[in-house]
């Protein structure tokens, strides 16, 4: 095992050595196979049976970087032992403002988030209790009246733009991942998402991207890579996702 792999294997959960995808690939699969003791499903069942605190994993990156996609793939691997939520659920309710006023708000600034509500939900889940999650409507920029209940699971996957900016939140995550994605790729993905699923016009999405999304990305999102334990500099492959799942499985099994 080389020095880089040794640093990763011996570091604590909150002091894991940062590795890029290239460095990750250079380690080779032997490092992960050597530590793979039990199947993922067995590890998660044992963690649940022993009443271990849930493992919270943060997936951070710019708009359109693939955060939700990665969270969904990881959730599929851990099946019923994993729960997933998004920072997007915690946008502040703007129902008290007129539609015209809402349209002028900067939703790409961290102050658009209800941080107190988010921290409360994560603390409840970390303690093994169910959490109340807001139901946010992107078309109207308002919350729906009915909250949804998220039950605690051994693994909680959370994706969002600014999850690592606050020290109080960083302390809750056992693993943090940052996705570094090219600007044009992020714009293309954001167009596909907002036009199809959020009912927005293509011109509006492009104007917002260059006026606020990209400047806010440079100021508030990109610097978070310094706090991430794993930084991906290209699209995650199936092999990358499997390695991530193995690392998370180690955390579920009690390994730091």
pLDDT band at 39 (very low <50, low <70, confident <90, very high): low
Per-residue confidence (pLDDT) for residue 50, from 0 to 100: 53
What is the per-residue burial (b if ≥16 Cβ within 10 Å, else e) of 105-115? bebbeeebbbb
- Tens digits of residue pLDDT in 204-213: 889 989 999 9
For 98-117, the pLDDT digits (tens) are: 999 998 999 999 999 999 99
pLDDT at 255: 66
The DSSP bridge pattern shows strands 136-137 and 142-143 to be: antiparallel
Is residue 246 within 8 Å of 253, Cβ to Cβ? no
Which positions ≥6 away from 212 have C-beta within 8 Å?
A: 106, 107, 108, 109
Q: Are 44 and 78 in contact (CB under 8 A)?
A: yes
Chain mean position to CA 200: 24
- C-alpha to C-alpha distances, 236 to 48, 104, 132, 160, 170, nearest whole angstrom: 28, 35, 31, 17, 23
Q: pLDDT tens digits, residue range 64-86?
A: 999 999 999 999 999 999 999 99
Residue 4 confidence (pLDDT) above 70: no
Q: Which of 6-10, 188-192, 205-209 has the lowest mean pLDDT?
A: 6-10
pLDDT tens sequence across 12-21 = 333 333 444 4
Phi/psi of residue 13, nearest 5 degrees: -65, -30
Q: Strands 131-133, 142-143: parallel, antiparallel or unpaired by DSSP?
A: unpaired
Which residues, in sequence order, are bridge partners of residue 175?
57
Is the per-residue pLDDT at 166 higher than 80? yes
Asked whether the predicted pLDDT for residue 41 surpasses 90, the reply is no
- Average pLDDT for 188-192: 90
Going by C-alpha positions, the residue among 56, 70, 18, 75 that lies closest to residue 238 is 70
Q: Domain 3-87+154-252 maps to which CATH number in 3.40.50.10790, 3.40.640.10, 3.40.50.300, 3.40.50.10490?
A: 3.40.50.300
Find all residues with CB under 8 Å of 157, minimum gap 6, and list them. Answer: 57, 59, 71, 74, 75, 82, 83, 84, 85
User: pLDDT digit string (tens) for 236-249?
Assistant: 999 999 999 999 99
Segments making up each domain of the chain, as ranges: 3-87+154-252
State mean pLDDT over 160-184: 96
**Consecutive H or E run containing 169:** helix 167-170
Q: Taking the complete model, does pTM exceed 0.95, yes or no?
A: no
The arithmetic mean of pLDDT across residues 179-191, rounded, is: 93
pLDDT of residue 49: 55
């Amino acid at each position: 095992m080389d020095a880089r792999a040794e640093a990763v294997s011996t570091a604590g959960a909150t002091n894991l050595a940062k590795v890029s995808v290239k460095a990750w690939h250079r380690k080779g699969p032997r490092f992960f196979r050597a530590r793979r003791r039990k199947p993922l499903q067995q590890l998660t069942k044992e963690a649940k049976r022993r009443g271990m605190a849930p493992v919270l994993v943060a997936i951070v990156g710019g708009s359109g970087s693939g955060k939700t996609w990665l969270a969904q793939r990881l959730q599929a691997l851990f099946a019923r032992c994993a729960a997933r939520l998004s920072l997007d659920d915690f946008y502040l309710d703007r129902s008290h403002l007129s539609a015209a006023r809402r349209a002028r708000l900067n939703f790409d600034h961290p102050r658009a988030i209800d941080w107190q509500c988010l921290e409360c939900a994560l603390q409840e889940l970390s303690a093994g209790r169910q959490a109340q999650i807001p139901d946010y409507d992107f078309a109207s920029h308002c919350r729906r009246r009915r909250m949804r209940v998220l039950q605690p699971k051994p693994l909680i996957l959370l994706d969002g733009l600014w999850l690592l900016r606050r020290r109080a939140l960083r302390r809750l995550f056992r693993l943090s991942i940052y996705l570094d994605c090219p600007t044009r790729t992020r714009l293309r993905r954001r167009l596909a998402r907002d036009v199809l699923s959020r009912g927005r016009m293509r011109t509006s999405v492009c104007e917002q991207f260059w006026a606020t999304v990209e400047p806010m990305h440079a100021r508030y999102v990109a610097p978070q890579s310094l706090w991430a334990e794993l930084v991906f500099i290209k699209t995650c492959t199936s092999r990358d996702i499997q390695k991530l799942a193995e690392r998370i499985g180690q955390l579920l099994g009690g390994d730091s």
